[in-house]
Each structure stands twice: as C-alpha cells, then as structure tokens.
Amino acid sequence: MENNIIQPSPVEILRKQIADENGIVVCPGVYDGLSARVALHAGFKTLYMTGSGTAVSRLGMPDIGLTSLNDMKQNAELIANLDTSVPLIADADTGFGGALMVGRTVAQYMRAGVAALHLEDQVMNKRCGHLRNKELVSEDEFLSRIRAAVNMRSQLSGDIVIIARTDTLQSLGFEVALDRLKKSIAIGADVAFLEGIRTIEQARTACRELHPTPVLYNMVQGGVSPHLTVAQAKELGFRVIIYPAIASRAAYMAITKAMNVVREKGDFPEDTGHIPPSEMYRVCGLDDAIKFDLAAGSNTYNGGI
Ligand SMILES: C[C@](O)(C(=O)O)[C@H](CC(=O)O)C(=O)O
C-alpha cells in the first residue's frame, strides 16, 4: 500500500540537500500557514521559519526578543507538518535561556518535526541581527548553548541539523566571529551562520575558512549585507541561502495597499484581489482534504464545493 512506503524524514532530506557540494539550498522565509502554503505551491524544496516574521505575525510585535519558546515552537510545528517532504529550517533565537532551556528547545523542535534550527550568541534580550547595538554573551556561554543542543540531540533518538549563528561581527569583528563559528563546529554544529556580513570579501573568506562545513547566507532585503543572487551566493561558496523577510514584507506591503484602497475609496476594486475563495483554499490543501474525506466514505463534499 502506498502509505506503507517509508519516506525519508525531513531531517534526512535536509542533510542530503546540504551535503551536495555543488548545490545551494534556497529557503524562502515563511511565518504562518498561508505563507508556507504559498511557498510550497511555488515549488520550494526547503522552507525557513523566520523569528522576525513570527514576532510580527503572531504577536504583532517587533523582532526584539519577545517571542517565547512556545510561540516559536508552535509556529514551527504547524509549518513543518504541512508537507513533511519539504524540510523546515527554523529560527530558535538564543535558545530562550541557559543550557537546560536550550536543551528543551532542541527537544521540542525535534518533536515538532523541525529539520534544522539556529542558535545565536546575542543576549536573551536580543534584536534582529540587522539592527544596531546588539549585545552579546561571552564565548563560553555561546559554546555552552551549542554544546547543550548537541548533547540533547544525541540524548534523544532522532536527528536535527544544528546551525551556529554568531552576531559578533558587528561589534567584535570578523576574526572573533570566525573563531566562534569554528569552535561551534568543533563541538558539533553542522552549519555556520555569520550574521550581518558586510562585504563580499568577508563572505568569500568565511566560506573558504569554514570549508567543508556548509555556510548559510542571510539575504535580508534592506539589511546590512550585500545583495546577492542565488547564483552569486553559490559562487562565493555558500551552501544555504535564506530569504527571511520575503513573505512578511510582501504581505505587509500588499495588506497596506489593500487597506488604504478601501479606506480611501470606500470600495475594493477588481485589481485589489478579486479571486474566488476556493483559489486560496486549493493552495491550502483543499483537494487533498476532499480526497481524504471521500476515501473515508464520507459524503460531505460529494456535490463539490
Ligand atoms: C534571520 C532572522 O533572525 C529572522 O528572524 O528571520 C532576522 C531577519 C530579519 O529580521 O529580517 C535576522 O536577525 O537576521
């Protein structure tokens, strides 16, 4: 029976994607069920759950350390399970506390079906990596976060890709940042994430120095890092590229426009999105839901919708 075929787990799929030295894993940032569905419908093979998008969408608050483990884990679980053949890389901020708390975070992300998570070295009162005046924890504290993640992974049966992110470049410089990433890799981190890269030269050097460990590029629109295409990032040596703000910015701009049109014109003209409701429901899995219902012998949707 079709359902008995053992599918590779999301983390197995991701490990294979990342292991391809000639490829680059392209991950659009998504922040909720709809943005994830649209990305899946567009054909992306890996997704990224943005903490920033989670903060603005779930809390209506900025990315300044307000999302809790529960907010992030619930969002990640929802997104990761829409299509388990497409792995999810999820933001885990600082891990939300000391070593024990980081361990809980890793365990909960693993149980939620998340394929990879990233942990950073900002203080708990963190902020978006592309803002000014970030505060950092000591190297020892950061490494204890990574060690806690690695230890929890080996304690549980299962797997998760651990991505070490450092925010030190802004205030402590390139050498310190690279050193923290190298030490994280020595402890067991699988992927390196140098936040806030400023120049192409830094990008190239980081990929070269950290090789063969895969390095992730954070392509934030309007952020501090150089604008790179997928092809350019690949050429520089990156093996993963995330577009964290792609969906949240698009939604923000489109919603703003639609709200202003209705408020100003007292009307909602055709060009502001007249699609039948079923179009969006289809992208959100309507056909599969109907198929499942019919196969169960229910006749709820026999007459169509
Ligand atoms: C990657 C990131 O952590 C995120 O939350 O998506 C943010 C991106 C953003 O704020 O757009 C970051 O700190 O770089």
**What's the rounded mean pLDDT across residues 77-105?**
98
> What pLDDT does residue 273 have?
72
Q: For a pocket test of ligand 1, which of 122, 218, 241, 249 has the largest count of ligand atoms closer than 8 A to its C-beta?
A: 218
**What's the rounded mean pLDDT across residues 41-47?**
98
**Active-site residue 179, yes or no?**
no
> What pLDDT does residue 157 have?
85
**Active-site residue 281, yes or no?**
no
| CA–CA gap between residue 215 and residue 207 (Å, rounded) | 6
The Cα-based distances of 124 to 1, 23, 121 in angstroms read: 48, 34, 9
In this structure, the residue with its CA closest to atom 11 of ligand 1 is 245
Interface predicted TM-score (ipTM) of this complex, two decimals: 0.97
| CA–CA gap between residue 166 and residue 182 (Å, rounded) | 11
As a whole number of Å, the CA-based R_g of the chain is 20
**What's the rounded mean pLDDT across residues 190-206?**
98
Q: What is the pTM of this model?
A: 0.96
| CA–CA gap between residue 13 and residue 23 (Å, rounded) | 14
- Give Cβ neighbours of residue 161 (< 8 Å, ≥ 6 apart): 11, 14, 15, 18, 89, 115, 116, 117, 190, 191
**What's the rounded mean pLDDT across residues 239-247?**
98
- Residues 106-130 have pLDDT tens digits of 999 999 999 999 999 999 999 999 9
> What pLDDT does residue 3 have?
57
Binned at pLDDT 50, 70 and 90, residue 302 comes out as: confident
The Cα-based distances of 87 to 44, 105, 242, 305 in angstroms read: 10, 18, 13, 31
- Give Cβ neighbours of residue 199 (< 8 Å, ≥ 6 apart): 226
Look at strands 88-91 and 116-120 and give their pairing: parallel
**What's the rounded mean pLDDT across residues 43-64?**
98
**Active-site residue 118, yes or no?**
yes
DSSP H stretches of helix in the chain: 10-19, 33-42, 51-54, 69-80, 99-111, 139-155, 169-172, 174-187, 200-210, 230-236, 246-265, 277-283, 286-295
Residue 4 has pLDDT above 80, yes or no: no
| Residue 151: Cβ within 10 Å count | 16
| CA–CA gap between residue 182 and residue 168 (Å, rounded) | 13
In this structure, the residue with its CA closest to atom 6 of ligand 1 is 50
**What's the rounded mean pLDDT across residues 63-85?**
98
> What pLDDT does residue 226 have?
97
Residue 1 has pLDDT above 50, yes or no: no
Question: Percent of the chain at pLDDT above 70?
Answer: 98
CB 237, CB 211: distance < 8 Å = yes
Beta bridge partners of 136: 122
> Does ligand 1 have an atom closer than 6 angstroms to the CB of 72?
no
Backbone angles phi, psi at 69, to 5 degrees: -55, -45
Mean pLDDT score of the chain: 95
CA 160 to chain centre: 14
